[in-house]
Amino acid sequence: MVTAGNDVIPEPRIRERFPQDHRLDRTFYLAMLIAIWAAILSGFIYNNVEKLASGNLHYPTIVHIHAVVFVGWLALFTTQVLSIRTRNVRWHRSFGRFVAAYAVLVVLMGIATGIHTEQLKFGTPAADTRFLSTMFGDMFNFGSLMAAGYLWRSDAAAHKRLMLMATVVLTDAGLGRGIIPMIEGWYGGEAYWQIRGFAHGAWPYIRFQLLPAFALQGAIGVYDYCTRGRVLPVYLSALGAIAIIDLIAGWLYFQPFWANIALRLIGH
């Protein structure tokens, strides 16, 4: 307290610094790492088993390259998580610039693969050029979170969460090929790609395309609230940004003008 004459003026309350470490952090980040691998691998294994059974297990070269780059990112992210888990901070930091450069490669390969595969599927029942909005949205979110994580690397709490959130964005690819189609089958709802209007298709799109990965993103905030009593502002800002980009991508998916743009992007 400070006094000014006869008045007592309360001192400004200083907000406590967000605790960087907690005894459960090592367990939580390992659990999230396992969840990410499970979400991605389960989807692609399920999808490829189906393709193999139907005799359609054929991919162009760029898809194989994309798969190698994609798995390479998961392996690199795993290495970084485990290096912190074993308190090998020097090793972790030595890979910083390489991780940033590799993230750029992931984005470029994601965009190129999306465009090329839609070119190959054009005119077939599997074609859906509108889906480029979703793929571009994922790549934008991943790249933006990675850039933010790199810029915030001096703040360990923010850096760890941003890097984790960036990798969780990529689980869309696996969840959309395995777990979610099975859930949608049980749910019995109309698939969003069979719907043309945004008003009717918005909820099916959100339910299928956004909620599963958001559950993993939300787990980060729930964990922080349970262990720290609050969440990191950077996390909330990143979560809001992801939601905005995902909703814009979903809105574009149902717009006729985007369908025309997407066709031009694949050369038609």
Return d(Cα 255, Cα 250) in angstroms, integer: 9
- The pLDDT of residue 219 is 96
- From the CB of residue 72, how many other CB atoms can be counted at a distance below 10 Å? 13
CA distances from 268 to 26, 134, 252 (A): 50, 19, 19
Q: Which amino acid is at 31?
A: A
Return d(Cα 101, Cα 98) in angstroms, integer: 5
Return d(Cα 244, Cα 131) in angstroms, integer: 17
Q: Give yes or no for residue 6 having a pLDDT over 60.
A: no
**pTM, rounded to two decimals:** 0.87
Return d(Cα 47, Cα 53) in angstroms, integer: 10
Tens of pLDDT, residue by residue over 228-257, are 999 999 999 999 999 999 999 999 999 999
Return d(Cα 114, Cα 106) in angstroms, integer: 12
| Across 23-32, 60-69, 103-112, 177-186, least confident range | 177-186
208 confidence band (pLDDT: 50, 70, 90) = confident
Inter-helix orientation angle 156-169/25-54, to 10° = 10
Select the highest-mean-pLDDT range: 33-37, 141-145, 201-205, 207-211. Answer: 141-145
Q: Give yes or no for residue 263 having a pLDDT over 90.
A: yes
12 confidence band (pLDDT: 50, 70, 90) = very low
Average pLDDT of the residues of the chain: 86
Q: Give yes or no for residue 11 having a pLDDT over 90.
A: no
Q: Strand, helix or coil at 231? A: coil
pLDDT: is 259 or 185 the higher one?
Answer: 259
What sign does the dihedral 38-112-214-72 (CA atoms) show? positive
Return d(Cα 268, Cα 115) in angstroms, integer: 12
Return d(Cα 140, Cα 188) in angstroms, integer: 31
Tens of pLDDT, residue by residue over 90-141, are 888 888 899 999 999 999 999 999 999 999 988 888 889 999 999 999 999 9
- The pLDDT of residue 254 is 95
Is residue 72 within 8 A of residue 57, CB to CB? The reply is no
